[in-house]
Structures are given as structure tokens and as C-alpha cells.
Structure 1
Amino acid sequence: MANVALASTLANNSHRFGRIAVVHDWLVTYAGSERVVEQILQLFPQADLFSVVDFFPESQREVLGGKHATTSFIQHLPRARTSFRSYLPLMPLAIEQFDLSPYDLVISSSHAVAKGILTGPNQVHVSYIHSPIRYAWDLQHQYLCEAGLQRGVKSWIVRVLLHYLRIWDQRTAHGVDVFVANSAFVGRRIRKAYGSEATVVYPPVAVERFQLSERHEDFYLIASRMVPYKRIPLIVEAFAAMPSRRLVVIGDGPDFTRAKACATSNVTLLGYQSETVLLDYMQRARAFVVAAEEDFGISMVEAQACGTPVIAYGRGGSREIVVDSLDPERGTGLFFGEQSVASIVDAVERFERQPPLKAEVCRRNAMRFTEERFKQEFLGVVERAMDADRGFADTLRVVRRWHSA
């Protein structure tokens, strides 16, 4: 019945909300934030799409409803397709050049600059925040360290640019009517960065694609982009210290060479693999291992949807996804307290000693994050925002009549 009611609601959205614009930072790959855009466009199929750049693969464009985004001047700059991130200092200017004045409702999907779109007093701006700009706020020092920019002239140039990006980012927060966070953890970051409260709507996960499996084998799994904050080499080092425990690593990226250098004979690095291969390993793994401090962590939901427990760093989004308990009737994994080899080793050994966690319990926990649940909750936020705006407009009309009487 809920799906029927939602379908009926969607059919009326074009009449209820007027003209709608959806703004995303950049469209290059189909990852977690693009899944959110996909679901938003399914909610509002009549919406127009805007993005700083749009190099989205044509073979996957159906997830955007076949839409091509209206793009900024950065789309046409040299090497924008491969190096668009190098134009980050220009992105605040670029996002402000979109003229959205004809729209009644503006929805931004932002992990960088999309929330900085210019809107007027007669428009409602709902901003879904995947994260405040990580490298400009609390993770600045970590990113400078990973980029080798702790000192020197280049370091100070980058620090000045990030300083002004923070000022711009905080100022543009006043143009948002309603903040939506993808986790309570990100909600706290929004409060720190912008001084505003946020409604939590967890991202959509296609849990139906992941089949429950009771057939778990004697290996642990990592599946991730190999970028520094994911800490893949750290997990490889931990399993190198446990030669009796097998580890399979799926993914590619800048840290692949570092991970390979740490690997011992019990660690298998498969590089990039198709979704079919990934799903097969995820269904068979003894447990899924995560060492990153995630804003949310879609892969942890996907693993549990397969019935696979999760061993995760106990900070960030993992605390909202994984039930850390030794009770097989409710536990879906366990946490480790530090991003260190010793802490990961201890967690794996504790996991080996406890009674097996139940696949059906993991699956049931993952069902909290379905696509339909996202649509219903996000639509509710938009409806309340529009109703509040109409209430304000009605009050304003009453006040004007009172003054003119």
C-alpha cells in the first residue's frame, strides 16, 4: 500500500511544487551521491538538472532519467574532463552563475559547492548534504598531510584558498531553507560548520539487488576505492600480521601500490572487479572490513544485505549502520577503536572467538536503508518545507493587508 500511495504522490508532484531544479556538484561517475540524485530525479522527474560539469557516462545516463545537466563554464576549460577537481577554487564562482530564478523549488545535492547556489526569498532551497567540504573543514590537516603539503609555499597557497572557501561555504549556508544530512554524524558536522540543525535522511541503498547468503567461507573482504582516507594498506598490514587469516581486496586507486607492497601470501588483491564478481565475494565472505571514518558507508549496508557481518572502525557513519553486539539475535558486526594494526587484529580475533552472527539478522538490519524508505522520508522533508513557505507567505499577506487597512 505504501508503494501505491507513493506512486500516486509522485504523479501529482509537478502540480504541487511548481518548477523544480536539482543541482549536483559534478556528474562524472555513478557513486553514492549520484544514487541520491537518481532517487531525487525519480521523485521529481520533471525537474531540470544543473551541475558544475557533466561528463557522466552515456551508457549509464538512464539513472539520471536520460537528462543532461546544464553546466558551468568549467565544463569547457582545458583538461576539465580528467582534472576538473583542479578547478575547485573557481567552483564557488561557477555555481553562482546558474540563474535559477524561474524555479519554485531548488534541491541541491552537495558534498562540495552545490549548496551555494543563489536563491531568492520566494524560492524554497532544500539541501541534501553528503558532507560539508571535507578538505576545507575538520579534515583539512589530514588532506594536507596526505598531499604532502604540510609546509612550503604551495602549502600556504592551499591553506589560504581553503580559508576563503570556508568563509564562502559558511556564508552560503544562509541561502538554505532546510538542511538534510545523510547521517547523524554528518548532521553534527553541519551544526559545527554552518550553525544549523539538519534532518537525517539516510541515503538509498538498492538492498534488493543483494541476495541473502548463508554460505560464508573462510576469508575476509575489503571492497573500496583505494584512496588514502579508506586506509586499505592499514587493513592489509593487519592481515599480514595474521598469516592464518585470509583477506581478499577488491578495488583500485592511488593506494593500490602501497597496499600491494604490504601484502603477504594470505592477502589477495583483485583490483577493480565487476558488480557481479563483487556481489559473489560479498555473499561468501566471513566478514566485511572497513577502516575508514565514513560519513555514511553504503558498502557496509550492502554487505549486511548479503547476510555478511561487518568489522568497522567505530566512528562516523558505521555507528548508525552496524549493530555492535555479541548477541547473535541482534548483532551485525563489531567495532575497533583505533585506526591501527593492533586494533584491527584485536577486532578480528574477537570476531573469531564469538558465536557466529546470523545472516538473517544482518539482512533485517540492512532493510532500514531501502530506496523506497529514502523516497518517502525525503519527500516528507520537501513537503514540510513547501508547507512552511506557504504558511509564511499567507502570514505576510495578512500583515500587508493589516498595514494597508
Structure 2
Amino acid sequence: MSATLLNDNIAPTQMNQNRTALVHEWLTDWGGSESVLAEISRCFLRPDLFALIDFLPGEARARINHGRLTTTFIQSLPFARSHFWYYLGLMPLAVESLDLRDYELIVSSNHAVAKGVLTNAEQLHLSYVHSPMRYAWDLHHEYLADYGIDRGLRGWLARLMFHRLRHWDRQTASNVDLYIANSHNVARRIWRTYRRRAWVIPPPADLDRFSIAAAKDDYYVVVSRLVSYKRVDLIVRAFGLMPEQKLLVIGDGPELDNLKKMSGTNIEFLGRRQDGEVAEYLARAKALVFAANEDFGITPVEAQAAGTPVVAYGQGGALETVIDATRSANGTGVFFTRQTPDALSETIHLHEHTLAAISPEDCRRNAQRFSAQLFHERFTSLRDRACTAWEYTRQRPGSFESAVFDE
């Protein structure tokens, strides 16, 4: 397909504005995927919104530009608000129950089951993937251990459920016409899991929340949900080897009590804080410490938006958001290469002067690559490109994806 044809402003633009459905898994707390959903919604004229459940406070949901909101039968099940995870085995059935027959363009926001909505041959389905279902694939064993269902009869039942979820997840991969990944890291995982190519559009960061502080304080900071795969335990143990260094931990979660038990007097747990407080703590920190192997990881971007460098585990999304100061004059952080307390403490000892020399302006400049404005421009451009390619290839089965990627 020629570049001229792909740039033609033809009928599909009308299609995606007026008959668009957004599909999201669950609306409970406001997090990174909800921020992406909100930004995607602004690329359309009040699209209808579908979700398995909706328990968002009104002021939070108002941040999403949507028309009619539809949920599934899980909304009415006992304890759906507080324990919706118990219904994970029912979620494929629930998402397939959503009736999307009236829509020409469907955009799913997926990290679990949203991509599995049923579509027909006349509908274009774009799926923005935050991650393939990590608890069924990459984090399967960690998830079982975290929830205490890795042994006995409960363990066998859980493994059977996830076995079926993996089959369903792969079978529904073909429901999607075009995958959009939040990072090259996730694009590789999409290929490994589904054998499908993905267009990469990084998620938006709310850069306006952050500003550079006039001076730094003498502490490192962690901002994270306190769950096992975030590896905050590794950070706490590393700072146990550095009693002269102060660490502030912002966030809460099931690991909190265990982390407190293993921490020394140089580590302070601040719990969950308001956005403005988090921004201030980030701006005044010597560095953010980030030990997870994340799909993308928005927190390192936010730290850099506040002018603060990052000490990160050198795998996953951090490699796409942090510039290595040991290799670049405009670096924004340093990496440790082994996910161990010793490796992290050694990295901080070796590179404390490197971190102090990193320019806050360089950090802020790097974070601007992930602005909401750029996300909007990239997403709307791909949307129009995909819709035009869809119109052009409707009579040529199998050629759509090639038309988008290989004009």
C-alpha cells in the first residue's frame, strides 16, 4: 500500500468517531492502565465504554471521556467490589457476553481478558496491550505463591484454571486485528505469546504534576505497590547493607508487614500519599530506586519529570525510559544487572557521584518523550492509518496487518 493512500482522509475517520466502543477489564482503582484508557478516550467523540465491573468513584470516572457505560454479570456477584479477583475464571465468559454488534471500531485496553471480546468480520479491533496476562504467563508461579494457592488441592485447582486461561488467551489472539504495545519489551512478549506483531506507543505520563526542586535532600525513594514482583524486598535488603543511606518507601500492599520486619532504622515507610506529596518527595530525592522487571514502568518516567535520576534493574521497560549515565553524557540514571541486594548496593556505592552529577534538566527533557500530547498524536495517527488500511483491504483477507506495518 502506498504512503499516499494511507494518508488519504477517507470514510474510516467518520467510522471511528461515531461508532466506537472502548473495552476495559475492570474499573476499581485509578492506576496506570486507567490513565491510558482516559487518554485513548480523548482521541474519540465520547465513545461508549464497556467493562467487566465498574466501582470507580464518580470524580475518577469523569476523567474518562465516554458515552454509555456497560458492565457484565460480574458487577452483581457477591463481593465483586472488594474481591473481584475471585471471579478470574469467569472473566473470559463475562467479556464474551458484551454485545458489540453496533460498533464498527473496537479499542480494547488489555492486561487480562479485554482483547477476547467477540467481533465480526466487518469490525476493526485495535488492542492496546499493557501486558499479556502476566499471572497466567510470566508471573504464574509468583502469583500462586503471593495468594497462598501454590500447594495442596487449592494449588491444583488454581493451576487447572490458569491452564485453561492460557488456552483461551491464545485462542482469542486472533480476535485482534492490530496489537498496540506500550513498549518494545511488551511487543516482544506479544510475539512470544501470540506470534503477532505489535505497534509500539508508550503510555502517557502526567508531566504537569511534576517540577524540579530547588535542592535535593539526603534520601533515596521507592514509589510502588508493595507486592512481590515489584521486588521492594530486594531494595530493603540492599539498604540494610548500607546503613548510612536513608530510604523512604511510599506505597502500601500485602508485603508491607514483611518489609517492615526486614528493614533497619535507615528505612522509613510512609504509606500511600497524595499525588502532590509523591511529586514533592520524588523531586527532592537523590534518586528513585526501581528493582522490578516491568512491562513499561511509569514511575521512572515520573521521577525524571521531577528532575530526579533513577537506579533501575537493567531489564524490561526501564531500558526504554532511562538513559544510562555511564554511557551517555546526557544520562538520567544507572542500572544494576543482577536482581540481588548485593548488586544494587554495589551499584549505588560505585555510582553515587555519577547520580549526583546528573542534570535535572536532562531528566526532565527525557521524560517529555512520554507526554500525554505525544501519546495523543501517536495514537490518533495510528488509528487513522489503521482505519484507512482496513477500508482498503476489506476485500483482501489477510492483508490488513501487512498494510499497516509495511506500506
Same fold (TM over 0.5): yes
The one-letter amino acid paired with 2:181 is A
CA–CA separation in structure 1 for the residues paired with 2:239 and 2:230: 16
Contact 1:17–1:386 (CA<8 Å) still a contact in 2? Answer: no
C-alpha deviation, 1:87, in angstroms:
0.2
Which residue of structure 2 lines up, in the alignment, with residue 25 of structure 1?
25
C-alpha deviation, 1:226, in angstroms:
0.8
C-alpha deviation, 1:67, in angstroms:
5.3
Which residue of structure 2 lines up, in the alignment, with residue 186 of structure 1?
186
Q: Over aligned residue pairs, what C-alpha RMSD do you find?
A: 1.8
Which residue of structure 2 lines up, in the alignment, with residue 299 of structure 1?
299
Contact 2:13–2:384 (CA<8 Å) still a contact in 1? Answer: no
CA–CA separation in structure 2 for the residues paired with 1:173 and 1:395: 20
Please say which of residues 40-49 and 299-308 is displaced more in the overlay.
40-49
- Give 1:57-136 correspondences, 5 Å limit: 57-65=57-65, 69-136=69-136
- Describe the shift of the 1:265–1:195 C-alpha distance in structure 2 as closer, same or farther (beyond 3 A): same
Aligned residue pairs, count: 386
Contact 1:61–1:67 (CA<8 Å) still a contact in 2? Answer: no
Which residue of structure 2 lines up, in the alignment, with residue 402 of structure 1?
none
Give the unaligned 5+ runs of structure 1.
Answer: 1-8, 397-405
TM-score by length of 1: 0.92
Which residue of structure 1 lines up, in the alignment, with residue 228 of structure 2?
228
CA–CA separation in structure 2 for the residues paired with 1:250 and 1:282: 10
Contact 2:42–2:65 (CA<8 Å) still a contact in 1? Answer: yes
Which residue of structure 2 lines up, in the alignment, with residue 168 of structure 1?
168
| CA shift digits 1:300-327 (9 cap, x unpaired) | 0000011100001111100000111226
CA–CA separation in structure 1 for the residues paired with 2:138 and 2:202: 22
CA–CA separation in structure 1 for the residues paired with 2:304 and 2:372: 16
Which residue of structure 2 lines up, in the alignment, with residue 400 of structure 1?
none
C-alpha deviation, 1:159, in angstroms:
0.9
C-alpha deviation, 1:155, in angstroms:
1.3
CA–CA separation in structure 2 for the residues paired with 1:384 and 1:142: 39
CA–CA separation in structure 2 for the residues paired with 1:59 and 1:73: 24
Contact 1:125–1:178 (CA<8 Å) still a contact in 2? Answer: yes
Which residue of structure 2 lines up, in the alignment, with residue 399 of structure 1?
none
C-alpha deviation, 1:372, in angstroms:
0.8
C-alpha deviation, 1:349, in angstroms:
0.8
C-alpha deviation, 1:353, in angstroms:
3.7
The one-letter amino acid paired with 1:282 is L
- Give 1:137-152 correspondences, 5 Å limit: 137-152=137-152
- Describe the shift of the 1:163–1:394 C-alpha distance in structure 2 as closer, same or farther (beyond 3 A): closer
CA–CA separation in structure 1 for the residues paired with 2:353 and 2:300: 22
Q: Secondary structure of 2:312's match?
A: strand
Give the unaligned 5+ runs of structure 2.
Answer: 1-8, 398-407
- Give 1:212-361 correspondences, 5 Å limit: 212-326=212-326, 329-354=329-354, 356-361=357-362
Which residue of structure 2 lines up, in the alignment, with residue 364 of structure 1?
365
Contact 2:47–2:67 (CA<8 Å) still a contact in 1? Answer: no
Contact 2:211–2:306 (CA<8 Å) still a contact in 1? Answer: yes
Contact 1:307–1:362 (CA<8 Å) still a contact in 2? Answer: yes
Tell which has more relative contact order, 1 or 2 (C-alpha 8 A, sep 6+): 2
The one-letter amino acid paired with 1:234 is L
Which residue of structure 2 lines up, in the alignment, with residue 3 of structure 1?
none
Structure 1 residue runs of 4 or more that deviate by more than 6 Å after TM superposition: none
Contact 2:210–2:305 (CA<8 Å) still a contact in 1? Answer: yes
C-alpha deviation, 1:101, in angstroms:
0.9
C-alpha deviation, 1:214, in angstroms:
4.5
Q: Secondary structure of 1:134's match?
A: coil
| CA shift digits 1:17-73 (9 cap, x unpaired) | 440000000001110000011011111132100000000111322211375630000
Identity of aligned residues (%): 44
CA–CA separation in structure 2 for the residues paired with 1:94 and 1:32: 23
Q: Secondary structure of 2:311's match?
A: strand
Please say which of residues 257-266 and 63-72 is displaced more in the overlay.
63-72
| CA shift digits 1:353-388 (9 cap, x unpaired) | 436111111111101000011111111221121111
CA–CA separation in structure 2 for the residues paired with 1:242 and 1:67: 53
Please say which of residues 141-150 and 100-109 is displaced more in the overlay.
141-150
CA–CA separation in structure 1 for the residues paired with 2:30 and 2:97: 25
The one-letter amino acid paired with 1:229 is Y
Q: Secondary structure of 1:44's match?
A: coil
Q: Secondary structure of 2:248's match?
A: strand
- Give 1:23-62 correspondences, 5 Å limit: 23-62=23-62
